[in-house]
Amino acid sequence: MSPRLSRGLGRLVFGLSLALVALQGPSAGAFGTIIGLGQNAEHERITRVALGCSARAPKPCFEPGSMAALAGHEGSPGAIAIPDITALTLYNPAHCDSGDYFARPGYPHSAAEARAALSACRDWMRAHLEAAIRDSGRLVDRQGRLAGSMDTRDCYRLVLPSHSDKCAVISDLGIALHVAQDFYAHTNWVDQPDRGAPISKTNPPGLGHSGPAPWFSLRGDVAFPPGLISGCFTAIPESMFCNQAGGGGRIKHENLEKDEGRIEPTVGLGTTPRGRINGNFARAALAAIADTRDKWALLREGLAARYGAARARLIVCALVSDDPGRACNAAWNGA
């Protein structure tokens, strides 16, 4: 998700490149959604670090094929890319954009409007987690047996994609995780401004936190964080939008975004203007990894609350396993 390119040109190029391989299955290999145009598949990499079966990730973890459906891989999108390669690319709640406010007289977007935009982003994430819980009911019957279709090999192929029951749940989860990750890249929760320049609309204040935002956790009644903002986004090029007559304008997406940088083998430096200073990209990426794990835990808690512990364990096994019929049964305990 390079806001300057992939929220428009980058996503178009991605779609055209996928069209060339649409009649084939996924290939092997990969925040951003593509590799190139300044991006390095940051959404995919964050998701793999957070939930893939490695020494770093907690269990239950996603096995390679199921992870490919969720996170994508080189040359093929996964569910995490849906908001970047569909009409959702311009839908601000899917990316936590346009929650901007600047405490100066005459600023054209109020603090209440900024809070409403960020609350809409939070509600969007909640709705898709709830959809994942609802759609998961198709994976296991009331007798505690696997049910529904589980093939995920062609979930996101552009031509004749699979519409399996497991694909539906993975899609819900991917959309929710995308916005969970974008929150840290697009807001000022983790970042700090350029200390060598005055605070301005192009150098907005930052909150400088480390780790996930309690307000964004969906757990409990947590107050909205004072000073939390994101940048205005309409379309590209950003220079043409979010401007006002008379030379004014709004804090833009490009003034806060920390979308691009190194995730693997270790989280490193960012490459966007806001991301490359003060360790801002690393804090955004690490917070996104932690929050991705928390949303996966929240989904599992929701499954247990709705379907009971035994059915929930089997649903989770079906989601993470590449061969649920072999790996899962009602006695599976998630270990």
62 in Cβ contact with 52 (< 8 Å):
yes
CA separation for the pair 51, 45 (Å, rounded): 10
Residue 333 is predicted with a pLDDT of 46
> 143: domain range?
9-327
141 belongs to a structural domain: yes
How many structural domains does the chain have? 1
Residue 247 is predicted with a pLDDT of 57
335 belongs to a structural domain: no
**Helices then strands, each counted (H, E), the chain:** 10, 2
166 belongs to a structural domain: yes
| CA distance to 57, 186, 292, 317, per residue, from 327 (Å) | 20, 39, 24, 8
Residue 236 is predicted with a pLDDT of 87
Helix axes 280-307, 165-186, angle to 10 degrees: 140
Residue 59 is predicted with a pLDDT of 86
Total number of residues shown for the chain: 335
281 belongs to a structural domain: yes
4 belongs to a structural domain: no
Peptide bond into 237 cis (omega under 30): yes
Q: Which residues contact 213 (CB under 8 A, 6 or more apart)?
A: 183, 184, 189, 225, 228, 287, 291
CA separation for the pair 107, 7 (Å, rounded): 25
Tokens 């939008």 found at? 241
Tell me the DSSP string of 126-150: HHHHHHHHHHHGGGB-TTS-B-S--
- pLDDT by residue for the chain (335 residues), tens digit each? 443 334 433 333 333 333 333 333 332 222 445 444 444 689 999 999 999 998 676 789 999 999 999 999 876 889 999 999 889 999 999 999 999 999 999 899 999 999 999 999 999 999 999 999 999 999 999 888 999 999 888 888 766 677 899 999 999 999 999 999 999 999 999 999 999 999 999 999 999 999 999 999 999 999 999 999 999 999 988 989 999 755 568 999 999 999 999 998 889 889 999 999 999 999 999 999 999 999 999 999 999 999 999 999 999 999 999 999 999 975 454 44
Tokens 């808690």 found at? 301
- Cα four-point dihedral sign 97, 102, 108, 113: positive
179 belongs to a structural domain: yes
Q: How many CA atoms lie within 13 A of 326 on its CB side?
A: 3
175 belongs to a structural domain: yes
259 in Cβ contact with 2 (< 8 Å):
yes
Helix, strand, coil shares, percent, the chain, to 5 = 45, 5, 50
334 belongs to a structural domain: no
SS3 label, residue 306: helix
| CA distance to 5, 83, 180, per residue, from 166 (Å) | 31, 19, 21
CA separation for the pair 257, 186 (Å, rounded): 5
Residue 315 is predicted with a pLDDT of 96
For residue 52, what are its two tokens?
């893939």
